[in-house]
């Protein structure tokens, strides 16, 4: 209860700050571009700043106004953006994920299509077709992708595993449950989790690992019922996995969630690959020696992808500058400045692979490997529209509290039909 109140207070406070900063923005010169995102953490903030600097250099006299609102996965930013869009007060460009997350904005006319910009920049040829399809609604393209992230990853410290006498991270969730016994016997938490969105992120990877990519895709496309026995088994596994986690004292966001693993109180955590920039740049940890990562159990060879993209809102004060920003986002230079710092790989297929080192080199290889199977993330906007995702959030909150997976499945099954 108090957590909910705290969140409301936080959102109100951030709204107030956003309103104040808007006031400053409006009051200042017109030669500025306001860009909205949720990148305020180490790595992501630097990545955004690098692109902003390059944008300012290419557009002398124009100031880049960073309107980022903190909170992993846009947990605060999305709510505040919604109220700005409702009030017809959009920033000049805002962050959205590729996929069904864009649908509401398109249907309600909040964003402009970018077909002319895509033609002018030749982007259809340099972004993967599957990605462009996820940015296209009724033949119109609505956002420019700046990166590719991977969600289905299990992070750990090789040294900690060695000390526990565990030879390798688990290849299946059943194996994770076996390892959890060993880990608990040594007084550690098997799995660290974070706030609600991170618990959903975990559920997504357990579903993927237990069902496999075909059924995972079918489930979100409506071809497989949430009431099917396979899905019930997968949800039951999720409940068991959660029981081996610190969900009762879950971390407040994804960075403190990772901190638990690297300070040694927990052994594993599931998180997207934005973790790599945090671990390397902020924690100064070295890939493979200080930290390591594998596909989350049961999902080897699958890339559960998401893509951060930027839009051109209807009613942007400076659509001319917003287009220039989008060109920066889609350009090879912009992508190569941003992604190595952000901990993501470029959306462009022609970006210079040599710039991507350590974890990112591995990620790029996997992404470009024709044998890799690509599926879309639930938590980060690809496979479910916002209304459906919000219903999953509410039902999941109850499931995590009460552990009633049957009720969860029934609610989500019903809500799928009601939210399409
Ligand atoms: C995702 C976003 C990433 C990163 C992450 C944690 O939704 O796509 O870029 O910001 O949330 O906040």
**pLDDT 10s digits, 314-345:** 999 999 999 999 999 999 999 999 999 999 99
Is it the case that residue 382 has pLDDT exceeding 60?
A: yes
Both tokens of 173, joined, read 């969730």
86-120 pLDDT tens trace: 999 999 999 999 999 999 999 999 999 999 999 99
Establish whether residue 380 lines the binding site of ligand 1, counting it when its CB lies within 6 angstroms of any ligand atom. yes
Tell me the average pLDDT of the chain: 94
**Is there a contact between 288 and 19 (Cβ–Cβ < 8 Å)?**
no
**Is there a contact between 67 and 21 (Cβ–Cβ < 8 Å)?**
yes
> Rounded to a whole number, what is the distance in angstroms from the first to the last CA of the chain?
31
- Centre of ligand 1 to C-alpha 187, Å, is 32
For position 29, what pLDDT does the model report? 56
Is it the case that residue 9 has pLDDT exceeding 80?
A: no
- Centre of ligand 1 to C-alpha 31, Å, is 29
**Is there a contact between 43 and 281 (Cβ–Cβ < 8 Å)?**
yes
Is it the case that residue 49 has pLDDT exceeding 50?
A: yes
Across residues 64-87, what is the average pLDDT? 97
Please state the atom number of ligand 1 nearest to the C-alpha of residue 254. Answer: 6
Please state the atom number of ligand 1 nearest to the C-alpha of residue 306. Answer: 8
For position 30, what pLDDT does the model report? 80
Residue 64: strand pairing partners: 33
* pTM for the whole structure: 0.93
**Is there a contact between 274 and 45 (Cβ–Cβ < 8 Å)?**
no
For position 136, what pLDDT does the model report? 98
Specify the range with the lowest mean pLDDT, choosing from 11-15, 34-38, 406-410: 11-15
Residue from 98, 196, 274, 338 whose mutation best tests the ligand 1 pocket (most atoms within 8 A of CB): 274
185-241 pLDDT tens trace: 999 999 999 999 999 999 999 999 999 999 999 999 999 999 999 999 999 999 999
Is it the case that residue 6 has pLDDT exceeding 50?
A: no
């Amino acid at each position: 209860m108090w957590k909910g109140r705290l969140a409301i207070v936080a959102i109100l406070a951030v709204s107030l700050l956003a309103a104040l900063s808007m006031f400053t923005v409006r009051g200042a010169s017109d030669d500025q571009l306001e860009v909205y995102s949720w990148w305020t953490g180490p790595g992501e903030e630097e990545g955004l700043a690098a692109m902003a600097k390059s944008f300012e250099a290419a557009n002398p006299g124009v100031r880049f106004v960073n309107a980022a609102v903190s909170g992993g996965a846009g947990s605060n930013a999305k709510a505040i953006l919604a109220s700005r869009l409702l009030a017809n007060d959009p920033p000049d460009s805002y962050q959205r994920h590729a996929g069904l997350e864009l649908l509401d904005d398109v249907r309600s006319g909040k964003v402009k299509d970018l077909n002319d910009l895509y033609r002018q920049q030749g982007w259809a040829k340099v972004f993967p077709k599957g990605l462009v399809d996820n940015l296209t609604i009724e033949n119109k393209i609505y956002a420019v992708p700046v990166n590719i992230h991977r969600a289905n990853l299990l992070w750990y410290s090789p040294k900690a595993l060695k000390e526990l006498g565990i030879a390798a991270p688990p290849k299946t969730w059943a194996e994770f449950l076996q390892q959890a016994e060993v880990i608990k016997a040594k007084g550690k938490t098997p799995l660290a989790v974070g706030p609600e969105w991170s618990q959903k992120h975990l559920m997504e990877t357990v579903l993927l690992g237990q069902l496999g990519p075909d059924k995972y895709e079918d489930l979100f496309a409506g071809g497989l019922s949430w009431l099917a026995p396979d899905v019930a088994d997968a949800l039951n596994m999720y409940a068991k996995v959660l029981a081996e986690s610190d969900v009762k004292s879950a971390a407040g966001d994804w960075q403190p969630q990772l901190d638990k693993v690297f300070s040694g109180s927990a052994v594993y955590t599931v998180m997207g690959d934005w973790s790599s920039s945090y671990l390397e740049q902020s924690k100064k940890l070295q890939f493979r020696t200080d930290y390591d990562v594998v596909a989350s159990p049961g999902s080897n060879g699958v890339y559960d992808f998401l893509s951060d993209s930027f839009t051109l809102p209807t009613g942007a004060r400076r659509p001319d500058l917003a287009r220039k920003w989008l060109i920066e986002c889609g350009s090879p230079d912009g992508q190569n400045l941003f992604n190595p710092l952000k901990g993501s790989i470029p959306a462009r297929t022609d970006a210079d692979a040599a710039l991507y080192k350590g974890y990112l080199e591995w990620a790029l290889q996997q992404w470009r490997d024709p044998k890799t199977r690509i599926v879309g993330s639930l938590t980060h906007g690809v496979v479910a529209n916002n209304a459906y995702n919000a219903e999953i959030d509410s039902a999941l909150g109850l499931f995590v509290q009460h552990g009633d997976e049957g009720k969860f499945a029934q609610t989500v099954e019903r809500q799928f039909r009601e939210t399409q």
